[in-house]
Protein backbone atom coordinates (compact mmCIF):
# COMPACT_ATOMS: atom_id res chain seq x y z
CA UNK A 1 0.00 0.00 0.00
CA UNK A 2 1.04 3.58 -0.61
CA UNK A 3 0.26 6.44 1.77
CA UNK A 4 1.20 10.09 2.11
CA UNK A 5 3.58 10.74 4.98
CA UNK A 6 3.83 13.62 7.45
CA UNK A 7 6.94 13.15 9.61
CA UNK A 8 6.65 16.38 11.62
CA UNK A 9 9.58 18.28 13.09
CA UNK A 10 10.74 16.03 15.89
CA UNK A 11 11.22 12.97 13.69
CA UNK A 12 14.13 14.84 12.11
CA UNK A 13 15.55 15.88 15.49
CA UNK A 14 15.08 14.52 18.99
CA UNK A 15 12.91 11.66 17.74
CA UNK A 16 15.29 10.61 14.98
CA UNK A 17 15.07 6.94 15.99
CA UNK A 18 11.26 7.09 15.67
CA UNK A 19 11.53 8.49 12.14
CA UNK A 20 14.11 5.91 11.11
CA UNK A 21 12.25 2.99 12.68
CA UNK A 22 8.92 4.02 11.13
CA UNK A 23 10.61 4.02 7.73
CA UNK A 24 12.39 0.71 8.30
CA UNK A 25 9.24 -1.05 9.51
CA UNK A 26 7.11 0.43 6.72
CA UNK A 27 9.61 -0.83 4.16
CA UNK A 28 9.55 -4.30 5.72
CA UNK A 29 5.75 -4.37 5.70
CA UNK A 30 5.37 -3.05 2.17
CA UNK A 31 3.96 0.34 3.13
CA UNK A 32 5.28 2.95 0.72
CA UNK A 33 5.60 6.41 2.28
CA UNK A 34 5.28 9.47 0.08
CA UNK A 35 6.43 12.47 2.14
CA UNK A 36 4.23 15.56 1.77
CA UNK A 37 6.04 18.07 -0.41
CA UNK A 38 7.58 20.97 1.55
CA UNK A 39 5.45 20.40 4.67
CA UNK A 40 5.55 22.80 7.61
CA UNK A 41 5.08 22.47 11.38
CA UNK A 42 1.59 21.66 12.71
CA UNK A 43 1.94 24.33 15.43
CA UNK A 44 1.68 21.74 18.23
CA UNK A 45 0.43 22.80 21.68
CA UNK A 46 1.88 26.28 21.41
CA UNK A 47 -0.40 27.27 18.53
CA UNK A 48 -3.68 25.97 19.93
CA UNK A 49 -2.90 27.21 23.44
CA UNK A 50 -2.51 30.77 22.23
CA UNK A 51 -4.16 31.30 18.84
CA UNK A 52 -7.02 29.13 17.57
CA UNK A 53 -6.97 30.33 13.98
CA UNK A 54 -3.24 29.74 13.68
CA UNK A 55 -3.75 26.24 15.10
CA UNK A 56 -6.12 25.41 12.24
CA UNK A 57 -4.35 27.30 9.45
CA UNK A 58 -0.88 25.76 10.00
CA UNK A 59 -2.07 22.13 9.67
CA UNK A 60 -4.47 23.20 6.90
CA UNK A 61 -1.49 24.11 4.72
CA UNK A 62 -0.17 20.54 5.14
CA UNK A 63 -3.54 18.88 4.60
CA UNK A 64 -4.11 20.88 1.43
CA UNK A 65 -0.67 19.87 0.17
CA UNK A 66 -1.42 16.23 0.95
CA UNK A 67 -4.68 16.51 -0.99
CA UNK A 68 -2.81 17.34 -4.17
CA UNK A 69 -1.22 13.86 -4.15
CA UNK A 70 -2.78 10.61 -5.31
CA UNK A 71 -2.89 9.02 -1.85
CA UNK A 72 -6.13 9.03 0.10
CA UNK A 73 -4.47 8.48 3.46
CA UNK A 74 -1.69 10.20 5.33
CA UNK A 75 0.39 8.47 7.98
CA UNK A 76 1.32 10.65 10.95
CA UNK A 77 3.59 8.89 13.48
CA UNK A 78 3.93 11.71 16.03
CA UNK A 79 0.94 11.64 18.37
CA UNK A 80 1.04 15.42 18.81
CA UNK A 81 1.01 16.07 15.04
CA UNK A 82 -1.68 13.40 14.62
CA UNK A 83 -3.87 15.19 17.15
CA UNK A 84 -3.34 18.64 15.62
CA UNK A 85 -3.95 17.46 12.06
CA UNK A 86 -7.09 15.56 13.09
CA UNK A 87 -8.34 18.50 15.08
CA UNK A 88 -7.78 20.97 12.23
CA UNK A 89 -9.52 18.58 9.88
CA UNK A 90 -12.49 18.37 12.25
CA UNK A 91 -12.87 22.15 12.34
CA UNK A 92 -12.40 22.52 8.57
CA UNK A 93 -15.03 19.86 7.86
CA UNK A 94 -17.58 21.17 10.39
CA UNK A 95 -17.30 24.95 10.28
CA UNK A 96 -18.00 26.44 6.85
CA UNK A 97 -17.22 30.01 7.87
CA UNK A 98 -13.89 29.06 9.39
CA UNK A 99 -13.00 26.88 6.39
CA UNK A 100 -13.55 29.79 3.98
CA UNK A 101 -11.47 32.05 6.18
CA UNK A 102 -8.63 29.55 6.44
CA UNK A 103 -8.70 28.89 2.69
CA UNK A 104 -8.27 32.62 2.15
CA UNK A 105 -5.34 32.69 4.56
CA UNK A 106 -3.58 29.66 3.06
CA UNK A 107 -4.50 30.66 -0.49
CA UNK A 108 -5.88 27.32 -1.70
CA UNK A 109 -8.99 25.28 -1.47
CA UNK A 110 -9.48 22.55 1.14
CA UNK A 111 -11.31 19.53 -0.26
CA UNK A 112 -13.75 18.01 2.20
CA UNK A 113 -13.72 14.28 2.96
CA UNK A 114 -10.79 13.57 0.69
CA UNK A 115 -8.08 12.50 3.12
CA UNK A 116 -7.87 10.13 6.04
CA UNK A 117 -5.35 10.92 8.78
CA UNK A 118 -3.94 7.78 10.38
CA UNK A 119 -1.36 6.93 12.97
CA UNK A 120 0.94 3.97 12.31
CA UNK A 121 -0.50 1.80 15.12
CA UNK A 122 -3.90 1.95 13.44
CA UNK A 123 -2.47 1.42 9.97
CA UNK A 124 -0.29 -1.54 10.89
CA UNK A 125 -2.86 -3.20 13.13
CA UNK A 126 -5.89 -2.73 10.90
CA UNK A 127 -4.50 -2.75 7.36
CA UNK A 128 -1.48 -5.03 7.65
CA UNK A 129 -2.80 -7.16 10.49
CA UNK A 130 -1.25 -9.20 13.29
CA UNK A 131 -0.90 -12.32 11.16
CA UNK A 132 1.41 -10.61 8.75
CA UNK A 133 3.38 -9.09 11.63
CA UNK A 134 3.87 -12.50 13.20
CA UNK A 135 5.02 -13.90 9.87
CA UNK A 136 7.83 -11.30 9.77
CA UNK A 137 9.15 -12.06 13.25
CA UNK A 138 12.53 -13.77 13.28
CA UNK A 139 13.43 -12.87 16.85
CA UNK A 140 10.50 -13.02 19.28
CA UNK A 141 11.01 -10.53 22.11
CA UNK A 142 10.97 -13.16 24.82
CA UNK A 143 11.68 -11.77 28.26
CA UNK A 144 10.78 -8.20 27.36
CA UNK A 145 8.02 -7.03 29.70
CA UNK A 146 6.68 -3.70 28.49
CA UNK A 147 3.73 -1.65 29.62
CA UNK A 148 2.13 0.22 26.71
CA UNK A 149 1.84 3.93 27.18
CA UNK A 150 -0.62 5.67 24.84
CA UNK A 151 -0.71 9.04 26.61
CA UNK A 152 -3.20 11.73 25.64
CA UNK A 153 -2.95 12.80 22.07
CA UNK A 154 -3.61 9.59 20.17
CA UNK A 155 -6.90 9.10 21.95
CA UNK A 156 -8.43 12.34 23.17
CA UNK A 157 -10.87 13.79 22.49
CA UNK A 158 -12.33 10.54 21.10
CA UNK A 159 -14.80 12.26 18.74
CA UNK A 160 -11.80 13.78 16.95
CA UNK A 161 -9.15 11.07 17.31
CA UNK A 162 -11.52 8.19 16.69
CA UNK A 163 -8.88 5.59 17.57
CA UNK A 164 -8.99 2.56 19.87
CA UNK A 165 -10.76 2.40 23.26
CA UNK A 166 -10.05 5.77 24.84
CA UNK A 167 -10.06 4.62 28.47
CA UNK A 168 -8.44 1.23 27.96
CA UNK A 169 -6.68 1.10 24.59
CA UNK A 170 -5.33 -2.31 23.57
CA UNK A 171 -3.93 -2.19 20.02
CA UNK A 172 -0.33 -1.56 21.07
CA UNK A 173 -0.59 -4.29 23.72
CA UNK A 174 -1.84 -6.77 21.15
CA UNK A 175 0.89 -5.84 18.71
CA UNK A 176 3.62 -6.24 21.33
CA UNK A 177 2.23 -9.61 22.44
CA UNK A 178 2.18 -10.74 18.82
CA UNK A 179 5.93 -10.16 18.50
CA UNK A 180 6.64 -12.15 21.63
CA UNK A 181 6.76 -9.57 24.43
CA UNK A 182 5.06 -10.26 27.75
CA UNK A 183 2.91 -7.14 28.00
CA UNK A 184 1.96 -6.19 31.55
CA UNK A 185 -1.55 -4.95 32.38
CA UNK A 186 -1.33 -1.36 33.55
CA UNK A 187 -3.88 1.22 34.58
CA UNK A 188 -1.80 4.27 33.62
CA UNK A 189 -1.89 3.76 29.84
CA UNK A 190 -3.70 7.00 29.12
CA UNK A 191 -2.43 9.25 31.92
CA UNK A 192 -0.74 12.51 30.96
CA UNK A 193 3.10 12.84 31.07
CA UNK A 194 2.98 16.65 31.25
CA UNK A 195 3.68 17.20 27.56
CA UNK A 196 5.32 20.46 26.63
CA UNK A 197 5.69 21.58 30.26
CA UNK A 198 8.93 19.60 30.17
CA UNK A 199 10.77 22.85 29.41
CA UNK A 200 8.73 25.52 31.13
CA UNK A 201 7.60 23.54 34.22
CA UNK A 202 10.17 20.79 34.54
CA UNK A 203 9.53 19.83 38.17
CA UNK A 204 5.85 19.17 37.47
CA UNK A 205 6.84 16.81 34.67
CA UNK A 206 9.41 15.08 36.92
CA UNK A 207 6.64 14.26 39.38
CA UNK A 208 4.24 13.03 36.70
CA UNK A 209 6.89 10.83 35.10
CA UNK A 210 8.00 9.40 38.45
CA UNK A 211 4.41 8.38 39.16
CA UNK A 212 4.24 6.60 35.79
CA UNK A 213 7.56 4.84 36.33
CA UNK A 214 6.69 3.74 39.86
CA UNK A 215 3.43 2.24 38.69
CA UNK A 216 5.09 0.58 35.69
CA UNK A 217 7.60 -1.07 38.03
CA UNK A 218 4.78 -2.16 40.32
CA UNK A 219 3.08 -3.74 37.31
CA UNK A 220 6.24 -5.81 36.78
CA UNK A 221 7.46 -4.05 33.64
CA UNK A 222 11.11 -3.91 32.60
CA UNK A 223 10.49 -1.27 29.92
CA UNK A 224 7.85 1.08 28.48
CA UNK A 225 6.67 1.27 24.88
CA UNK A 226 5.39 4.54 23.38
CA UNK A 227 4.22 6.05 20.10
CA UNK A 228 4.87 9.74 20.71
CA UNK A 229 8.07 11.85 20.69
CA UNK A 230 6.80 14.06 23.53
CA UNK A 231 6.00 11.05 25.75
CA UNK A 232 9.38 9.56 24.82
CA UNK A 233 11.31 12.73 25.70
CA UNK A 234 9.59 12.96 29.08
CA UNK A 235 9.65 9.30 30.09
CA UNK A 236 13.19 8.76 28.81
CA UNK A 237 14.75 11.86 30.37
CA UNK A 238 12.63 13.16 33.23
CA UNK A 239 12.48 10.18 35.62
CA UNK A 240 14.33 10.51 38.93
CA UNK A 241 17.48 8.46 39.51
CA UNK A 242 16.60 4.91 40.47
CA UNK A 243 13.17 4.99 38.83
CA UNK A 244 14.23 5.04 35.17
CA UNK A 245 13.22 2.28 32.80
CA UNK A 246 14.25 1.88 29.16
CA UNK A 247 11.63 3.40 26.85
CA UNK A 248 11.10 2.25 23.25
CA UNK A 249 9.15 3.50 20.29
CA UNK A 250 6.92 0.60 19.27
CA UNK A 251 8.43 0.67 15.79
CA UNK A 252 11.91 0.09 17.24
CA UNK A 253 10.64 -3.10 18.84
CA UNK A 254 8.91 -4.22 15.65
CA UNK A 255 12.17 -3.66 13.77
CA UNK A 256 14.14 -5.59 16.39
CA UNK A 257 11.78 -8.55 16.19
CA UNK A 258 11.93 -8.46 12.37
CA UNK A 259 15.72 -8.69 12.65
CA UNK A 260 16.25 -5.38 10.84
CA UNK A 261 19.91 -4.40 11.10
CA UNK A 262 19.27 -0.66 11.38
CA UNK A 263 17.93 -1.14 14.90
CA UNK A 264 21.46 -1.35 16.32
CA UNK A 265 21.93 2.38 15.52
CA UNK A 266 19.04 3.49 17.70
CA UNK A 267 19.78 2.30 21.23
CA UNK A 268 22.59 4.77 21.81
CA UNK A 269 20.23 7.62 20.96
CA UNK A 270 18.13 6.93 24.06
CA UNK A 271 18.52 8.82 27.33
CA UNK A 272 18.29 5.51 29.20
CA UNK A 273 20.38 3.16 27.05
CA UNK A 274 18.36 -0.06 26.62
CA UNK A 275 21.37 -2.11 25.40
CA UNK A 276 22.10 -3.81 28.71
CA UNK A 277 18.47 -4.93 29.10
CA UNK A 278 18.40 -6.22 25.51
CA UNK A 279 21.74 -7.98 25.96
CA UNK A 280 20.65 -9.64 29.19
CA UNK A 281 17.65 -11.03 27.32
CA UNK A 282 19.89 -12.06 24.41
CA UNK A 283 17.89 -9.92 22.02
CA UNK A 284 20.99 -8.15 20.70
Partner 1 sequence: MTFLEKVNERINEVPIQRCYHCRKCTAGCPMAEIMEYNPNKIIKMVQLGMEKAVLESKTIWLCASCETCVTRCPNEVDIARMMDVLREMALEGGSRIAEKNVVQFHESFLSSIKFGGRINEPLMMVLYKLKSGDLFSDVVMGVGMFLKGKLSLVSPRTKDISAVRNIFSKTKS
Residues that bind partner 1 (CB under 8 A): 9-10, 12-14, 16, 38-41, 43-54, 57-58, 61, 95, 104-107, 152-153, 155-158, 166, 191-192, 194-197, 199-202, 204, 208, 237, 268-269, 271
What is the distance between the alpha carbons of residues 150 and 171, in angstroms, rounded to a whole number? Answer: 10
Q: How far is the CB of 144 from partner 1 (least distance, A)?
A: 23
| Of 48 and 145, CB closest to partner 1 | 48
| Of 182 and 191, CB closest to partner 1 | 191
82 contact partners, CB below 8 Å, separation of at least 6:
76, 117, 119, 153, 154, 161
What is the distance between the alpha carbons of residues 148 and 190, in angstroms, rounded to a whole number? Answer: 9
CA 274 to chain centre: 19
| Of 70 and 199, CB closest to partner 1 | 199
| Of 84 and 145, CB closest to partner 1 | 84
Of 25, 12, 169, the C-alpha closest to 78 is: 12
- Residue 258 vs residues 140, 269, 276, 280: alpha-carbon distances, Å: 8, 20, 20, 19
Q: How far is the CB of 124 from partner 1 (least distance, A)?
A: 24
Q: How far is the CB of 195 from partner 1 (least distance, A)?
A: 5
What is the distance between the alpha carbons of residues 86 and 103, in angstroms, rounded to a whole number? Answer: 17
| Of 146 and 194, CB closest to partner 1 | 194
Q: How far is the CB of 84 from partner 1 (least distance, A)?
A: 11
Q: How far is the CB of 153 from partner 1 (least distance, A)?
A: 8
Strand order from edge to edge, sheet including 146-148: 146-148, 223-226, 247-249
Amino acid sequence: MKVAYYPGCSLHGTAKEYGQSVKAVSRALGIELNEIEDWSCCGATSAHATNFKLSVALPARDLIKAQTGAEKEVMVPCAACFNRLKSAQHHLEHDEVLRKEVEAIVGSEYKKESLEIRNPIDLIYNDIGLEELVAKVVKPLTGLKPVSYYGCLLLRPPKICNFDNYENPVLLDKMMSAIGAEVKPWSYKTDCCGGSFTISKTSIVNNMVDKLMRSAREAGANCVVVACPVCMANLDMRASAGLELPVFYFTELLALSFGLKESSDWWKLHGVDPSSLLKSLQLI
